[in-house]
């Protein structure tokens, strides 16, 4: 099983979770900088639920989403196309605003996508990028099986950028954006429903055929160990004191 196939299946596994995200929950830091009439591009738009909120902020301007696996039924008022964010099918200077949420962590070369974003940005354009960073994670309770499972999960992310959050300000500057401002917030799961969902979601990684085949082929874990990891995450999710938090880093930048 190839790395790309593993990543593609992982993205499909996350789709139900992504569909719960909105502009208010995941792009609030960018909303104050949007205005009616802007042409906006959402890079790696997924199901388009965030794009729909961004579209409302720039209406009657056009909001376009791009994704390798676009939804079959895009939200009303949003144009979504299939495409590669590292090779955008748009002319130079096409957009007044760019958004990318939870995209760069899945790329081997995040800077390549940001340079494409800069290319298609008009003078004065604004960009907002948000992404997680696996450093600084808080997890309770934990045990040897959970800790090993996280090491396996990080190995499964080889070839991507799970620690990109802390680098966002640097990467936007390198891509040619100016006046780049960075901040962070903690995403967390601390209610019975949230921890059960997070535990089940994480458990599914170790049962996902592509991920399991890759972990076994690379010698990172045996099949029965992966099942043990999945069961440990399900048990964690039902623990009455379970809690997890992870940093989300957010940056805003501009084009001169």
Predicted local distance difference test score (pLDDT) of residue 210: 94
pLDDT for the residue 10: 44
Residue 41 β-bridge partners = 64, 98
What is the span of the domain harbouring residue 164? 3-254
User: What is the pLDDT confidence band of residue 9, given thresholds at 50, 70 and 90?
Assistant: very low
Q: Note the pLDDT tens digit of each residue in 228-245.
A: 999 999 999 999 999 999
Count of domains in the chain? 1
What percentage of the chain exceeds 70 in pLDDT? Answer: 93
Cβ–Cβ < 8 Å for 78, 59: no
Please tell me the predicted confidence (pLDDT) of residue 11: 43
Of residues 187, 198, 194, 190, the one with CA closest to residue 233 = 198
129-139 pLDDT per residue, tens:
999 998 989 99
Nearest-10 crossing angle of helices 209-217, 223-238: 130
Reduced DSSP (H G I as helix, E B as strand, rest coil) percent helix, strand, coil of the chain, to 5: 45, 25, 30
Q: Model confidence over 46-56: pLDDT tens digits?
A: 999 999 999 99
* Residue 192, domain CATH: 3.40.50.150
Q: What is the pLDDT of residue 28?
A: 96
């Amino acid at each position: 099983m190839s790395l790309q196939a593993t990543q593609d299946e992982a993205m499909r596994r996350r789709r139900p979770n992504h569909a719960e995200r909105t502009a208010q929950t995941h792009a609030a830091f960018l909303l104050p900088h949007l205005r009616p009439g802007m042409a906006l591009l959402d890079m790696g738009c997924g199901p388009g639920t965030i794009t729909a909120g961004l579209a409302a902020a720039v209406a009657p301007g056009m909001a376009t989403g791009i994704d390798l696996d676009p939804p079959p039924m895009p939200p009303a008022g949003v144009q979504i196309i299939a495409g590669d964010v590292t090779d955008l099918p748009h002319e130079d200077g096409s957009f007044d605003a760019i958004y990318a949420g939870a995209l760069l962590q899945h790329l081997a070369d995040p800077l390549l996508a940001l340079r494409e974003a800069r290319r298609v940005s008009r003078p004065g354009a604004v960009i907002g990028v948000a992404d997680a960073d696996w450093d600084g994670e808080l997890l309770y309770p934990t045990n040897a099986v959970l800790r090993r499972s996280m090491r396996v999960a990080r190995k499964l992310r080889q070839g991507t950028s799970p620690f990109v959050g802390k680098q966002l300000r640097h990467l936007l500057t390198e891509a040619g954006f100016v006046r780049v401002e960075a901040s962070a917030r903690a995403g967390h799961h601390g209610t019975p429903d949230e921890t059960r969902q997070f535990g089940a979601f994480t458990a599914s990684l170790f049962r996902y055929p592509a991920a399991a085949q890759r972990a076994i082929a690379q010698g990172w874990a045996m099949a029965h160990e992966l099942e043990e990891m999945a069961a440990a995450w399900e048990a964690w999710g039902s623990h009455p004191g379970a809690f997890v938090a992870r940093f989300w880093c957010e940056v805003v930048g501009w084009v001169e």
